[in-house]
Amino acid sequence: MEHQDTSQRFMIDDSSIRGEWCRIESTYQAVIAKHDYPLAVRGLLGEMMVAATMLSSTLKFEGRLTLQARGNGPLQLATVECTHDKHLRAIARWQGETDSLTFTQLLDSAHLAITIEPTKGEAYQGIVPLEHENLSRCLEHYFQQSEQLDTRIWLNEGDGRAAGFMIQVLPYNSTDSAMLDKSEDDKAEDWIRAVALADTLKAEEHLSLPIEELLHRLYHEESVRLFDAQPVTFKCSCSRERMSKALVSVGKDELDDILAEQEQITMNCEFCNASHIFDKMDVHMLFDASNPNNDTNTH
């Protein structure tokens, strides 16, 4: 059975519960193929990728969402970026033995930064300690503390793919007549039932079943609306232009010193392994007054 990389939203009618589902295969494999990741690092990176994809669905503007974990354990850094149009890339750095460690041992005193960067406007960042037993619980804690939203998240990785499932209580519209008739106890019961049913989700079902069948198994007594699927793809945002801007920020004198010792400067992207080579003429042109990448001309 083929599994297209997609992210999809759903709503449970007559309730204030919405959900997100995501499963990636070729996108996930494209990321882990770039480096020789240990199994534990690979698994966490896959979970972070589907989590970032689901969270990016909440963006109401063009931009990107980044999940970044930094800690003192063997996994020193894990970063995932997902744009509003579901372009995904990820990278991890580790050192030493990882595969026999628990989530908390792998990261050890880590924090997770969730950064939202609109194409236009100010960036926003929230930080949560990674002190729970897995990534799902840490993200749920973030939503409870930062957004005051009841949220449950299920993440799985295996068989060359990763999957995520999230349900969340959102403030309902006061014009929704069906919700106006519900008591607070009824709304709480809706949530308890939705969570209890989702808790029956098995990893093998999560990683293999089409979303339509999965939702039917979980919520066949409910009326569930499934929205259009959004394709998820691996796409790195690196470019020669961005590398050029990075070099300009270093400064011409330092670049000239480097070129005095070697014929060229090679800029490598850790996310996709692409290389961009700059020789003496390239560096000279970077600082030319007509070059739009030369930010020094604007100061």
* CATH for 192: 3.55.30.10
Domain tally for the chain?
Answer: 2
The reported pTM is 0.80
Residue 298 within a domain: no
Question: What does the DSSP 8-state code read for residue 227?
Answer: P
Residue 178 within a domain: no
Residue 59 within a domain: yes
Longest dimension (CA), the chain: 76
Same domain, yes or no: 263 and 207: no
First to last CA, the chain: 57
Same domain, yes or no: 83 and 156: yes
Q: What CA–CA distance (Å, rounded) separates 155 from 163?
A: 6
Nearest to 135 by CA among 236, 55, 58, 239: 55
Same domain, yes or no: 249 and 200: no
Residue 137 within a domain: yes
Question: What is the secondary structure of 166-202 as a DSSP string?
Answer: EEEE-PPPTT-HHHHT--HHHHHHHHHHHHHHHTT--
Residue range of the domain that includes 141: 6-173+184-234
Same domain, yes or no: 168 and 262: no
pLDDT in tens, the chain (299 residues): 445 899 999 999 988 899 999 999 999 999 998 889 999 999 999 999 999 999 998 777 788 999 999 888 899 999 999 999 999 999 999 998 888 888 988 988 889 999 999 888 888 898 988 889 999 999 999 988 887 889 999 999 998 999 999 999 987 554 455 566 677 888 889 999 999 999 999 999 999 999 999 999 999 999 999 999 999 998 877 667 777 777 788 788 888 888 888 887 777 767 777 777 778 788 778 877 555 555 544 33
Same domain, yes or no: 153 and 267: no
CATH number of the domain residue 251 falls in: 3.90.1280.10
Same domain, yes or no: 110 and 244: no
Residue 283 within a domain: yes
